Amino acid sequence: MKLKTLLLALLLVCGSSIFAQVTIDVFINGTKAGQYTIKKDATTGGISYKKKDYKNLDKLSIQISGKLKEKGNVRTVEVSDNDDVVIYTAPETEGIKNQFILSDKAVIKRLSKGKSVKLNLVSAPANEKMAGAIRKTYIGTLSTGK
């Protein structure tokens, strides 16, 4: 009986850690170029590419999947530099839930120079009159590999 209880507790802990993560798919020029996972409350993580991959970059987008409790909220992705200065804010793509197009000249220029960018998911209430906090969640870093 104790073994069953211990096994059940272990499965619950493992199961909750599996669902407390978000998967990010990265698309370069419309082709899936990679995928990474960020756990809840992470402050580091992401994916790196060779500098030459960013040289031919025309379109950069990400698709977020996983457990997101953001129903009824407006979501954007803030792209910032290492000092948390926002370079670009990407709205959610119309008609495609959890997709964000990051193809701004400033973002592409920064990546092609070999500098990294941090991504944060910002969730705000859809109605300005609604009381609710704006939540900012770290969702990864795009950088160059050495």
From CA 121, how far away is CA 139, in angstroms rounded?
6
From CA 12, how far away is CA 16, in angstroms rounded?
6
Mean pLDDT of 22-31: 92
Helix (H/G/I), strand (E/B), else coil: 47: strand
Residue 80: which domain range? Answer: 2-144
**Chain mean position to CA 46:** 8
List all residues 6 or more positions away from 139 whose beta carbon is below 8 Å from its beta carbon: 22, 24, 38, 62, 64, 77, 119, 120, 121
* Number of structural domains the chain divides into: 1
Residue position matching structure tokens 């998967």? 23
From CA 133, how far away is CA 107, in angstroms rounded?
27
Q: Using one digit for the tens of pLDDT, what is the confidence trace for 74-121?
A: 889 999 998 889 999 999 999 888 899 999 999 999 998 889 999 999
Grade residue 7 by pLDDT with cuts at 50, 70 and 90.
Answer: very low
- What pLDDT score does 96 carry? 87
Residue 50 has pLDDT above 60, yes or no: yes
Grade residue 69 by pLDDT with cuts at 50, 70 and 90.
Answer: low
CATH number of the domain to which 14 belongs: 2.60.40
Residue 27 has pLDDT above 70, yes or no: yes
The token pair that represents 3 in the structure block: 């073994």
Query: Do residues 59 and 30 touch, judged by C-beta distance below 8 A?
Result: yes
Grade residue 72 by pLDDT with cuts at 50, 70 and 90.
Answer: low
Q: Whose CA is closest to 99, among 107, 111, 91? A: 91
From CA 96, how far away is CA 105, in angstroms rounded?
23
Mean pLDDT of 14-18: 43
